[in-house]
Structure 1
Amino acid sequence: MTDGDPRPLTLGELIRTQREMAAMPMRRLAEMVGISNPYLSQIERNLREPSERVLEAIAENLKLSADVLAESTRTSDPEGQPEVIAAIRRDPDLTRAQRAALEEMYETFKDVTVSNRRRGTHG
């Protein structure tokens, strides 16, 4: 990513950048997280998406908030809204009321997950 590139870092880029800033070899972080070095490499290259447990362990070992890392995994459309919401809004087979209900359910599920993550519970 260059200074002129407005594109946000991907999850893998963010993990790699934070690991490098901590001067931590990939092999060491993988060992601390309890995953293989090749798996961490795939995560950093955005070839694999880590499980919630792995993401939390990476965040903990890099002294980051799991919420910060998790937020970076959410895909957005060009207007900045989550891709899920954008897809719901584009679907021609849904009524306005159905779209509103789906958006509300999505936001509720997301809020519960974030809240559980902050409390350290999983659901």
Structure 2
Amino acid sequence: MRQLAAMVGISNPYLSQIENNLRAPSAQVLNNIATSLGMDPEALKVTDPDDDGDLRAAIRRDSNLTPAQRRALLEVYGAMLAANRADSDR
């Protein structure tokens, strides 16, 4: 993690927040991460039209929540969406 953060030019805690979906990286940071990993930057971009990025972004920005609470909300929300998709696939 430390090596990647250094290669990208960001702090290790910031990279950890990105990894845990607590912060959304800028386009430049996303491009730097992809380039450092030898990937096409487009491969890291969310393209799912059903992704509710606004809600997830709002949860990530809410300063009234602790990092653990943000993670929990995002996990519960993701699990609910996955359950709904599984139900609709039957």
Identify the TM-score tier after normalising by the shorter chain.
0.5 to 0.7
| Match runs of 1:12-91 below 5 Å | 26-70=1-45, 73-77=46-50
How many angstroms does 1:27 deviate by? 0.4
Higher helix share: 2
The code of the aligned residue for 1:54 comes to: V
The code of the aligned residue for 2:43 comes to: V
Q: Moved runs in structure 1, 4+ residues, more than 3 A?
A: none
How many angstroms does 1:75 deviate by? 4.5
Q: Which segments of 5 or more consecutive residues in structure 2 lack a partner in the other structure?
A: 54-90
Select the structure with the greater relative contact order (CA < 8 A; seq sep ≥ 6).
2
User: 1:60-113 CA deviation, whole Å, 9 max, x = no partner?
Assistant: 00001001111xx24432xxxx659xxxxxxxxxxxxxxxxxxxxxxxxxxxxx
The code of the aligned residue for 1:48 comes to: R
User: 1:3-54 CA deviation, whole Å, 9 max, x = no partner?
Assistant: xxxxxxxxxxxxxxxxxxxxxxx00000000000000000000000000000
The code of the aligned residue for 2:21 comes to: N
Cα RMSD for the two superposed structures: 1.9
TM-score between both structures, scaled by the size of structure 2: 0.53
TM-score between both structures, scaled by the size of structure 1: 0.40
